[in-house]
Amino acid sequence: MQLAEQSMSTPKRLVQFDVDSTFIQQEAIELLAAKAGVFDQVSKVTESAMRGELDFAQSLIARVALLKDLPESVIAEVQQEIVLTDGAAELVEQLHAKGHFVSLVSGGFINIIKPLIDQLKIDFYKANTLEIVDGRLTGRVTGVIIDRAAKADALHEFAEKCEVKIEDTVAIGDGANDLDMMAAAGISIAFNAKPIVAEQAQFVINEPSLHGVARLINL
């Protein structure tokens, strides 16, 4: 699929990515769950939430509770296990080189993804924060939960900050909690997405690489 040709040049864009299973190959909470010996329990809830069968915030609270008492050191271990999706770093570099902006919004955890945010010079970001007390995870998150509505709010907030029209934004995601931001964006791209997401997106990528995004948005 191709976008309609633009009369002059591509407008200044804000491209917003979901993180887990979109910008990175894994689900960070499942990597943490493996450390806690509760991978199967957490994975089943994650899958159900991404299909839109469970309220995301409630599912997150339930999953994080299973991580209680994990040592803080597991965060550094999981950071080392994170693998960027093929083409992610190159796409960010390409967007920045052409004067566009990049944001990451995650139902996962800032504790995990902050190093890659810094490394790639991501312009804007929001994610949940794991609460840590006395060197151990408490099984809770602090602050406002980044759920479906919060991701859409972030798109509007970030677009205003970088003076990009909402119709010139792009949202890329794979799960039900990405639907609101994808509906708000000028261009929505489902990336190896759950059926409920693929059905509602303007474009669908069904390959393990983000290289095709540049063509879809006339980059």
Measured CA to CA, the distance from residue 79 to residue 172 in angstroms comes to 22
CB atoms inside a 10 Å sphere around CB 114? 15
User: Token pair of 38, please?
Assistant: 């509760």
Give the active site residue among 20, 153, 168, 180. Answer: 20
Give the pLDDT confidence score for residue 52 in this predicted structure. Answer: 78
Strand partners, 109: 128
Is 174 one of the annotated active-site residues of the chain? no
Give the pLDDT confidence score for residue 67 in this predicted structure. Answer: 96
> Contact at 8 Å (CB) between 181 and 200?
no
User: Token pair of 198, please?
Assistant: 């693929």
Give the pLDDT confidence score for residue 26 in this predicted structure. Answer: 95
Select from 115, 42, 25, 43 the least CA-distant residue to 76: 115
Is 18 one of the annotated active-site residues of the chain? yes
Per-residue pLDDT of the chain (219 residues; tens, 9 = 90+): 444 333 346 789 999 999 999 999 999 999 999 999 999 988 888 888 778 787 888 889 999 999 999 999 999 999 999 999 999 999 999 999 999 999 999 999 999 999 999 999 999 999 999 999 999 999 999 999 999 999 999 999 999 999 999 999 999 999 999 999 999 999 999 999 999 999 999 999 999 999 999 999 998
Give the pLDDT confidence score for residue 51 in this predicted structure. Answer: 81
Give the pLDDT confidence score for residue 185 in this predicted structure. Answer: 98
Which helix (H) or strand (E) segment holds residue 209: the answer is none
Q: One-letter amino acid identity for 54?
A: L
Give the pLDDT confidence score for residue 4 in this predicted structure. Answer: 39
Order of strands across the sheet that contains 14-18: 136-142, 124-133, 101-109, 14-18, 169-173, 187-191, 203-205
Q: One-letter amino acid identity for 23?
A: F
Angle 211-127-116 (CA atoms, 0-180°, nearest 5)? 50
Measured CA to CA, the distance from residue 38 to residue 191 in angstroms comes to 27
Which stretches within the chain are classed as H helix? Answer: 28-36, 39-50, 56-65, 73-81, 88-97, 110-120, 148-161, 179-184, 195-198, 213-216
Give the pLDDT confidence score for residue 9 in this predicted structure. Answer: 66
Select from 87, 158, 143 the least CA-distant residue to 120: 87
Give the pLDDT confidence score for residue 6 in this predicted structure. Answer: 39
> Contact at 8 Å (CB) between 87 and 211?
yes
Locus of tokens 């983000």: 210
pTM: 0.91
Select from 209, 168, 187, 211 the least CA-distant residue to 83: 209
